[in-house]
Amino acid sequence: MDGYFPIGATRSRTLKSAISCVGTGLHSGARASLTLRPAPFGTGIVFRRTDLGLEIPARHDAVNDTRLCTCIGEGSARIGTIEHVMAALAGCGVTDAVVEVDGPEVPILDGSAAPFVFLLDCAGLTESALAAPEIEVLRTVRVTEGEGPDAAWAELAPGTGPGLEAELSIDFGSTAIGRQSLSLRVTEDSFRAVLADARTFAMAEDIARLRAAGLARGGSLANAVVVDGPLVLNPGGLRHSDEFVRHKLLDAVGDLALAGAPLRARFRGHRSGHALNNRVLRALFADPRAWRLVDAPEMPAGVLSSAGATARLPMAASPA
């Protein structure tokens, strides 16, 4: 793969072979095992709880919790912290895969998407002869939280070209973070070079409160950047001077990958997080005039995926 296809303009892709890893759940602190498996072209991205024997489609309308991560499923049948693996799949143009986990959370690994990209590189990718369907945004939708100059917001608008354009700004009181912004067209090259290795982060003063609430129990300096006022507490410091906004944009790529098919759109946000990223997708699909599904050509009879099953279009919301 040459890496020059924008996300949303690639052909359907899946893995050549299965590959696994073991780590720790960021919020649960429990051991977590993950396996990425090939899927027939047209399957989309599906999460599978191997301990429960159930599958959950990677869809915006399956999201039930956005507190410090994106979680799909209901009750005990849920899978949390899916945003980094989703970002890696989207960033590498993978449209069809099964993501198996043996519990309620994806392992956090180093807190970025880079380990998942490494797994995909090791497994190898294969693509179909036909382009993948995509979701084209036709008119702007915006969601907001708060009022005045401190309001957070996210919007999806028609793109100026193929694939996903993304622009995000953040503003934190901690002087180690402050105000940062980033704008780029998300291609495989730009995802790998700019976003993939940016780590999740937390404020030192928030950690005790989060753990008391049952969150961040698996967090450490090995899988998160921790800041205390003007200080970055990680011994190695930052990977990039703007690592914080890079990671927030990485999260947005993963959250927007829950559209059900690649987006042909422009994303803009200010202080946007998992909740607003999910809300803007729900707002998009609530307005049938705001989007359309651009179907891939029909798969010729007898064309099979690497898994040997007849291809079909991925699941995506349909206009009313």
Residues designated catalytic:
274
Give the DSSP H or E segment for 251: helix 243-256
Max CA distance (Å), the chain: 61
Residue 248 CA to residue 253 CA, distance in Å, equals: 9
User: E strands, 58-171, where?
Assistant: 63-65, 71-74, 77-79, 97-101, 125-131, 134-137, 141-145, 152-157, 164-171
The separation between the first and the last C-alpha atoms of the chain, rounded to the nearest angstrom, is: 37
In a 10 Å sphere around its CB, with 0-12 CB exposed, 13-18 middle and 19+ buried, how is residue 246 labelled?
Answer: buried
Distance CA 288, CA 58 (A): 21
- Give the number of other Cβ atoms within 10 Å of residue 155's Cβ: 22
Are the C-beta atoms of 153 and 145 separated by less than 8 Å? yes
C-beta separation of 291 from 284 below 8 A: yes
Report the Cα 318 to chain-centroid distance in Å. Answer: 21
